Amino acid sequence: MRKFSNLIVNEWVKLAKKRSFAVPFLIVIAVSVLLGYVAHLSGGTEFNSAAGFTTVMLLPTGVGQILAMLAMIGTAGIVAREHSQGTIKFLLIRSRSRTAILASKYATVLLYSLALLTTAILSLFIIGLLWFGAAGGNAGAGDIARSVLYVAVYALLYVTLTFMLSVLTSSTGVAIGASLFAVMLDKLIIQREFYKYMLFPNLDLSVYQGGEPPLPGMTQTFSVLVLAAYMILFILAAFTVFRRRDVA
């Protein structure tokens, strides 16, 4: 266990000692401020408490999407950059299995995403307190928690997709490009039966709250199962390829 946590420390050091490390966090805060300001300007009738503001704005239709995109950009390089820098050679000739090394990278990416998510929750809530107050409305901690869960699932799937692409293509650019392209397309719904088994329409679990499923016949349980299947697929593909790859 100590060996594994040391691997995570290594990955975190590589990530955190970059000069651009703080930028994604600042973007999350800036977007939160901006959203709060716009909502405040429009009369402030939309939200009547910090909790209500946070609950709505955290969703994949608000800060959630930007949050996922930032996490994906951080993820794309974690494997690919080792290849482009050539540092993969020193990394793999240690007495550590490739599985452990890749697992530590995945764990680090999840930690990084969690840090971004925490920043988003805190900044949204503080902005909410500033402009909309603590009291009033009927949204509570439970509603915020549900939003957190939705955005976490959404970000987790995208981060895992990017992680897999980073391993498969060994190219930071391709991994970022392909996965951000997917984010752009995920709002597009194709009205066909097969499409409900695709990743995109299932990503935002919050749609089931309003009642209307993206496609007829879809339920929240159905979406959770589809997402779980994709998660397993992405992780399996990444680990299989990384373990077997010839490093040239």
User: Is residue 79 at the binding interface for other proteins, with CB under 8 A as the rule?
Assistant: no
Q: What are the distances in angstroms from CA 173 to CA 78, 88, 162, 176, 221?
A: 12, 18, 11, 5, 35
The label of the residue with tokens 């293509």 reads: 169
Q: Binding residue for other proteins (CB under 8 A) from 34, 44, 97, 193? A: 97
Shortest Å, Cβ 3 to other proteins: 7
Q: Which stretch binds other proteins (CB under 8 A): 9-17, 30-38, 143-151, 153-161?
A: 9-17
Position among 27, 29, 92, 122 found at the interface with other proteins (CB under 8 A): 92
Residue number, 13 or 145, with CB nearest to other proteins: 13
Give yes or no for residue 76 binding other proteins (CB under 8 A): no
CB nearer other proteins, residue 212 or residue 246: 246
Among 96, 111, 129, 174, binds other proteins (CB under 8 A): 96
Closest distance between other proteins and the C-beta of residue 9, in Å?
6
**3-state SS track over the chain:** CHHHHHHHHHHHHHHHCCCCCCHHHHHHHHHHHHHHHHHHHCCCCCCCCHHHHHHHHCCCCCHHHHHHHHHHHHHHHHHHHHHHHCCHHHHHCCCCCHHHHHHHHHHHHHHHHHHHHHHHHHHHHHHHHHHHCCCCCCCCHHHHHHHHHHHHHHHHHHHHHHHHHHHHHCCHHHHHHHHHHHHHHCCCCCCCHHHHHCCHHHCCCCHHHHCCCCCCCCCHHHHHHHHHHHHHHHHHHHHHHHHHCCCC
When asked if residue 240 is in the footprint of other proteins (CB under 8 A), the reply is: no
Cα distance between residue 156 and residue 165, in whole Å: 14
Q: Which of 13, 22, 23, 228 binds other proteins (CB under 8 A)?
A: 13
Q: How far is CA 151 from the centre of its chain?
A: 8
Is residue 95 a contact point for other proteins (CB under 8 A)?
yes
Closest separation in Å from C-beta 245 to other proteins = 9
Q: Of these, 42, 89, 136, 189, which contacts other proteins (CB under 8 A)?
A: 89
Q: Which is nearer to other proteins, 18 or 209 (CB)?
A: 18
118 touching other proteins, by CB under 8 A:
no
Q: Report, in Å, the least distance between residue 62 CB and other proteins.
A: 33
Verify binding: residue 211, other proteins, rule CB under 8 A.
no
How far, in Å, CA of 3 to CA of 8, rounded? 9
Pick between residue 87 and residue 118 the one whose CB is nearest to other proteins.
87
Chain residues that interact with other proteins, rule: CB under 8 A: 3, 6-7, 9-10, 13-14, 17-19, 85-87, 89-90, 92-97, 244, 246-248
